[in-house]
Structure 1
């Protein structure tokens, strides 16, 4: 005679569940209770915060250093000796020590016109081309470690800008593809590069910046290099002075 199971699927008494189902139901109930307790605890911490416990999610700390970087901008002319001194003696050392806290931008000084393709540079059209080359480098390689180093390399021999040999040597030194740089400068028969320069010059003019080199920190003029002299550097013109200010703004979130 065939043995019969105590219950088949159609004969289970009402409310009967297998042990595995009971465990699953118990786990769900426990998770619900834990969730409610965690929610109540966080609400209590938000209303009555503990000095040592926080309900902030970890990603908020992870965002620190990206959204909160301090704006630092250098306004230059590519064939200006003051730009060379400014980058070499102040901007580069600051970036070398605090780049993780800085949102850096390189802008150019000139005058917009209705002739000469819409931009006039103080040291002539060769300077305009030098500006465009440096802007193309920043567009193609947005990491300041690359394009700022490249700009400094050109500026060290600013009188030779924009000679091909100088541009090629500096591009090679800083891992920049000279072919891409050349394509950017000549794109759309040069209109693309001119547009980059015009937008940069307009930015400097809108900010009433006309001296190369002008360094702006957190949207305020921090220091000016003019005629071989530092000017308007009330808080110091040494790299450690600027680094101190960057660290202070970064830590206090005052920017």
Structure 2
């Protein structure tokens, strides 16, 4: 017969094994790079960096992303109009030049840092208030918050070391992004595109969301697309 101490140790050991082997579906996935070679689902949010609809949409996706981070390639694409007469950006942004600068800052951080880092940068900018997005001091502050080496990472060179958003690479990224928006048929911020299909729009209110617009709805749509892409369904 086991002593009481031995029995307690045995129970504790069994509990630890059960915890280690448990895979609860509600636990958020890590943001680490998966070891699998399976295809990721392209997820694009068509936004304007200072748009209230974009901030609402991004706040919602802040709860979607951790649940599907290992299954998606996430990007932000920016709604703007080409304007050759604009001296700094070559585009016109609905909420002014500051928004163009914010678009460039976010594109450059996304280009030069991992998803978890650039998403933290975007969330930090949003937290400062939408009319502050694009301001150099906010970009510097959020770079520090996200632990981005402004000069060493390549972000500063892309944006412009002064944070203005007028760096050559950053402006080129903005032009490419506007082209992506046009190719996807995005006209409203915020538009949610999953695997090339526009599935939902927030323009004052949620619209054209056949499969829902809650966190769980977007998670389910992404997981369904992942299974479809990888022949799992």
- Measured against the shorter chain, the TM-score band is 0.7 to 0.9
SS at match of 1:178: coil
**Structure 1 residue 169 corresponds to structure 2 residue 141:** yes
Match of 2:13 in 1: none
> In 2, are the aligned partners of 1:74 and 1:216 still within 8 Å (CA)?
yes
Write out per-residue CA displacement over residues 35-81 of structure 1, whole angstroms, 9 at most, x where no aligned residue. Answer: xxxxxxxxxxxxxxxxxxxxxxxxxxxx9854411111111101111
Residue in structure 2 matching 1:128, options 79, 100, 104: 100
Unaligned runs of 5+ in 2: 1-33
For residue 77 of structure 2, the aligned residue among 97, 100, 107 is 107
Q: Which runs of structure 1 show a deviation greater than 6 angstroms over 4 or more consecutive aligned residues?
A: none
Among candidates 203, 225, 233, match of residue 202 of structure 2: 225
Q: Normalised by the size of structure 2, how large is the TM-score?
A: 0.75
Alignment of 1:54-69 (within 5 A): 65-69=36-40
The equivalent of 2:49 in structure 1 is 78
Tell me the number of residue pairs that the alignment of Structure 1 and Structure 2 aligns: 189
CA contact (8 A) 2:184 2:196 kept: no
Q: What secondary structure does 1:216 align onto?
A: strand
Describe how 1:1-255 pairs up with structure 2 within 5 A.
Answer: 65-89=36-60, 91-116=61-86, 117-141=89-113, 143-156=114-127, 157-179=129-151, 180-186=154-160, 190-227=167-204, 229-253=205-229
Which structure shows the bigger proportion of residues in helix conformation?
1
CA distance in structure 2 between the partners assigned to 1:113 and 1:240 by the alignment: 39
The answer to whether the 8 A contact 1:65-1:100 is kept is no
